[in-house]
Amino acid sequence: MATIQELMNLDDRVSVVTGGATGIGLQMAKGLAEAGSNIVICSRRVEVCAEAAAQIEKIGVKALAVGCDVTKPDQVEAMKAAVLKKFGRVDVLVNNAGRAWAAPPEDTPLERWQQVFDLNITAPFLCAQVLGREFIQQKRGKIINIASIAGLVGRNPQTYNSIAYGASKGALVNFTRDLAVKWAQHNIQVNAICPGFFVTPINEKLYAKNKDNIEREIPLKRTGGPDDLKGIVVLLASPASDFMTGAIIPVDGGAVAW
C-alpha cells in the first residue's frame, strides 16, 4: 500500500504543457514541477517559453522550452522528438493551449470560428495522437485536457459572448470522455479540468469591464487564484488518479452548481 506522499509524487516524470508559458498554463506547470516533474513548455513564441522554463528550473527540476504551433502536425512531431531527445521519455500531456473570439453568434466570422476550433479541439487531438503513440508503447500515460465551464453550460451573453469558445470546449469535454474509453485498454488515463473564471493576460480587460457581473455568478464570490489549479493538475498527473478516467472536473468556485 502506497502512502499519499508516494501517490502524489511526480519525481522524474516528464510533463508537456501546451500554452504553458503564461496564465493558467504556467500555474499548472509550476504545480507539476513542485511535485517533482520535469517540464516541457511549448507554444508558438519560443522566447516566452524560455522565460517560463527559467522560472520552472528555479524550483529544482529540468525544463525544456519548445517553439511549437500545436495546430501543425509536423511541429507537434518535432516537439515530441525534442522531448524524447532531452528526457528519453514522456509521461503527462496537459492540453492547455486555447483561444477565444468574442462576437455575437450572428456576427462571428467563419474564419475566426475555424481558428478557435483549430486550437481548442484539433490541437488537443493532434498532441494526444502524437504523444499517445508513446504512451501506448510504454503502456501508461496521463492526458489532461483543459476545457472550461463554458463547455458545460450556456453563458450569459452580457458577460461572455463567444459561441466558438463554448462550442469548442464542449467538443473537448466529449473528446475527453471518448478518448478515455478508447485508450483505457492501454492504461492511459484521460481527464479534463473545466476552469471557471481565472484572470489572465488574455481576459484581464474583460474582467476589469465586467468584474461585478463575473463575481456575482460565482458562489464563492471570487475568481480563480494563482494556486487554485495546482492541486487538481497534480492529482490527475499522479498515480493517485490511476483509477480515474473520463472525469470532467469543474474548478470554478461553484459556478456550474449555481
Lowest-confidence region among 69-73, 247-251, 254-258: 254-258
Residue 201 pLDDT level (bands cut at 50, 70, 90) = confident
Q: What is the mean pLDDT of residues 151-164?
A: 91
Average pLDDT over residues 78-96: 98
Q: Is the pLDDT of residue 74 over 90?
A: yes
Domains and CATH numbers, the chain: 9-251 (3.40.50.720)
**Of the residues 160, 165, 175, 183, which is catalytic?**
165
**For the residues of the chain, what is the DSSP string, one character each?**
---HHHHT--TT-EEEEETTTSHHHHHHHHHHHHTT-EEEEEES-HHHHHHHHHHHHTTTS-EEEEE--TT-HHHHHHHHHHHHHHHS---EEEE-------B-GGG--HHHHHHHHIIIIIHHHHHHHHHHHHHHHHT-EEEEEE--GGGTS---TTT--BHHHHHHHHHHHHHHHHHHHHHGGGTEEEEEEEE--B--TTTHHHHHHHHHHHHHTSTTSS-B-TTTTHHHHHHHHSGGGTT--S-EEEESTTGGG-
**What is the pLDDT confidence band of residue 69, given thresholds at 50, 70 and 90?**
very high
What mean pLDDT do residues 218-232 have? Answer: 97
> Percent of the chain beyond pLDDT 90?
94
Give the mean model confidence (pLDDT) for residues 212-233: 96
Per-residue pLDDT for 3 more than 90? yes
Residue 165 a catalytic site member: yes
Residues 100-122: tens digit of each pLDDT: 999 999 999 999 999 999 999 99
Residue 156 has pLDDT above 90, yes or no: no
